[in-house]
Structure 1
Amino acid sequence: MTIEPPAPGEPRRPHGPRDAGDAWVVAPDGQRYWGRFGAAGLLACDPGRGILLQHRVSWSHHGGTWALPGGARHQGESALDAALRESTEEAGVPPASLRPRFMSVLDLGIWSYATLMADVEQPFDPVISDQESVELAWVAPENVDGLPLHPAFAEAWQRLRPLLGIRPALVVDAANLVGTVPDGWWKDRAAAAERILEALAGRGPAGMPADLLGLPEDLWYPEITVVLEGRARTARDTSGLEIIRAEGSGDDAVVEAVRRLAAEGRTVSVATSDRALAETCRALGAHVAGAGELRTVLEP
């Protein structure tokens, strides 16, 4: 493959058409940022091996330092898709092996950088698949600061590392959520519940806003548990969700789910507008958001 010489400090690219996003954004103070439409990177975390870091080739921007696989976003490309694409191109990361956990966005107004943190659910060996890396390595979080880090990543790492311990879970009181919209749910409670389940599953790639979950940063991808009760229990299963079909009280099932998830070390949020249930869940350490708040997030 023929490689064209880069401009000073510019990432080297294969010869041929470049994406429109492969360009510098220049701030009023002269500072340059790579990616006309912003940039994104992947913080992949393997529970047994640590986080995946890229040793940058000498001719790249801040060459010789360590950072996350990542690069410029394409026009119209989501930050999540960009982080997965770039990490695949640069490190051979298989997206199917990952489960997103949170997205942290540095927004400078004229330019933004999004860091997607994802858990490795199926171990893989990274592969140097372009000319921008001289080494890829799994590094234990406690050893990251000992490496010569890219200045921007070094700054971001101080904010990101404490978040690695947060494993979010959202418990949804479906009966309460269904009742927030007068869409005829009382005529067919199972169908109304299915609409909620589909909306929750469909929200997956977009994530949930941090304030809904009572968490820091920008977006989170919680594991979602939905409690169905009464006639709604016959709603069809929906992929990507844990569905609890309460034999008795739905409120009791929500409380039991909160206890179980908290015991597993999850940071639990509950979506309900039932005052008594909300008070009980808060007493168990869960964050509570109103059903209407979640409904607003799920609106198209």
Structure 2
Amino acid sequence: MRIEYPRPGEPRRPSGPRDPGDAWVITESGERYWGRFGAAGLLAYDAARGVLLQHRVSWSHHGDTWGLPGGARHEGESARAGALREAQEEAGVPDGAVRARLMSVLDLDVWTYATVVADVVRPFEPVISDPESVALEWVPVIEVGDRPLHPGFADAWPRLRALLEVRPALVVDAANVVGSVPDGWWRDRAGAADRLIDDVGRLVAEGVDAAALGLGEGTWFPETSVVVVGQAKSVADRDGSRVRTVRAAASGDDTMVDEATRLVDAGRRVSVVTSDRELADRCTAVGASVHGARWLRDLL
């Protein structure tokens, strides 16, 4: 493997200084992959409009094909951050317009490409904001395969399309999880619940491995609800957190079942976290799967 930077005059990022990541990774057999530190792209999905695709300029690698906004990662940059940055640079995706649901990584040992699947939470119109795009369009899912696709995206699309139907969600029984460890939680129930919510927030922000959720592949960022009862209901709300705090008005178990039912009815693949057997049976009956408190503790 060797690293080769674009030759002088080669049109790569012509509007700004070259980043060290803007280079070719070339294998011993001659395959070329763009991005010294790997590459990443954003699959922005809008249920009403479809997938945001980029028509690549002719001078780009596999030019005149359609693919995802994306490109080379910067040194030390996470794949998810790289995908979002590239989507902003190439398609004008606004801050806060999408929420990551899944990251799928193609790992070729010498090079990686991460696809971040993200749901549009604030509709926007893409903007051609650099010279690498001929066009940007919202393409209905059923029509994506009809376009002349970038070969890498064409290979990945059938698998990614199937994953668009998968929407995992967690519902956490805070009292049960907190009570699973004798760390003095009974002296400050609200404080213990606060710590759990913060820990769960970090977990789902960093991502949960597919194997833990019983899914096929990738790293997932599940929609998450933490149900609190009694004194723990005084916990503070988290602005911008991926975790929704649900305060039980009466029975915590009833609230858990109601939340699981709401998410199942919305098409989510729901995992309930509790070691309470009766509650587990009730949640299973509404279509959720159940993991014990130890399962979550181990992930945390």
TM-score between the two structures when normalised by the length of structure 2:
0.91
Secondary structure of the 2:53 match is: strand
Shift of 1:40: 0.6
Residue 156 of structure 2 is matched in structure 1 by: 156
Conserved 8 A contact 1:271-1:288: yes
Conserved 8 A contact 1:201-1:238: no
Counterpart of 1:94 in structure 2: which amino acid? P
Mapped partners of 2:72, 2:291: distance in 1: 35
Conserved 8 A contact 1:11-1:61: no
Residue 276 of structure 1 is matched in structure 2 by: 278
Shift of 1:11: 6.4
Shift of 1:201: 2.3
Secondary structure of the 2:59 match is: coil
Residue 198 of structure 2 is matched in structure 1 by: 198
State the Cα deviation string for residues 156-206 of structure 1 (Å, max 9, x = none): 101000111222221001112112333321211110001111222233431
Secondary structure of the 1:237 match is: coil
Mapped partners of 2:78, 2:246: distance in 1: 32
TM-score between the two structures when normalised by the length of structure 1:
0.91
Shift of 1:223: 1.5
Shift of 1:242: 2.3
Residue 103 of structure 2 is matched in structure 1 by: 103
Counterpart of 1:87 in structure 2: which amino acid? A
State the Cα deviation string for residues 98-156 of structure 1 (Å, max 9, x = none): 11111111112221111111111211111111111111111001001110000100011
Q: Pairwise mapping of residues 29-68 of structure 1 onto structure 2 (< 5 A)?
A: 29-68=29-68
Residue 296 of structure 2 is matched in structure 1 by: 294
Shift of 1:277: 2.6
Secondary structure of the 2:63 match is: coil
Conserved 8 A contact 1:212-1:289: no
Residue 20 of structure 2 is matched in structure 1 by: 20
Mapped partners of 1:293, 1:36: distance in 2: 37
Q: Pairwise mapping of residues 156-195 of structure 1 onto structure 2 (< 5 A)?
A: 156-195=156-195
Mapped partners of 1:134, 1:238: distance in 2: 41
Shift of 1:272: 1.9
Q: CA 1:6–1:26 in 2, change beyond 3 Å: closer, same or farther?
A: closer
Conserved 8 A contact 2:6-2:23: no
Conserved 8 A contact 1:44-1:119: yes
Extract unaligned runs of 5+ from structure 2.
none
Extract unaligned runs of 5+ from structure 1.
none
Conserved 8 A contact 2:90-2:133: yes
Mapped partners of 1:274, 1:11: distance in 2: 61
Mapped partners of 1:251, 1:221: distance in 2: 25
Residue 69 of structure 1 is matched in structure 2 by: 69
Counterpart of 1:144 in structure 2: which amino acid? V
Mapped partners of 1:296, 1:149: distance in 2: 41
Mapped partners of 2:282, 2:28: distance in 1: 52
Secondary structure of the 1:165 match is: coil
Secondary structure of the 2:149 match is: coil
Q: CA 1:274–1:11 in 2, change beyond 3 Å: closer, same or farther?
A: farther
Deviates more, 1:53-62 or 1:123-132: 123-132
Shift of 1:245: 2.0
Q: CA 1:285–1:62 in 2, change beyond 3 Å: closer, same or farther?
A: same
Residue 253 of structure 1 is matched in structure 2 by: 255
Deviates more, 1:53-62 or 1:219-228: 219-228
Counterpart of 1:92 in structure 2: which amino acid? G
Deviates more, 1:131-140 or 1:196-205: 196-205
Mapped partners of 1:11, 1:211: distance in 2: 42
Mapped partners of 2:29, 2:191: distance in 1: 56
Identity %: 61
Deviates more, 1:136-145 or 1:254-263: 254-263
Q: CA 1:95–1:204 in 2, change beyond 3 Å: closer, same or farther?
A: farther
Deviates more, 1:119-128 or 1:245-254: 245-254
Shift of 1:71: 0.5
Residue 263 of structure 1 is matched in structure 2 by: 265
How many residues align? The count is: 293
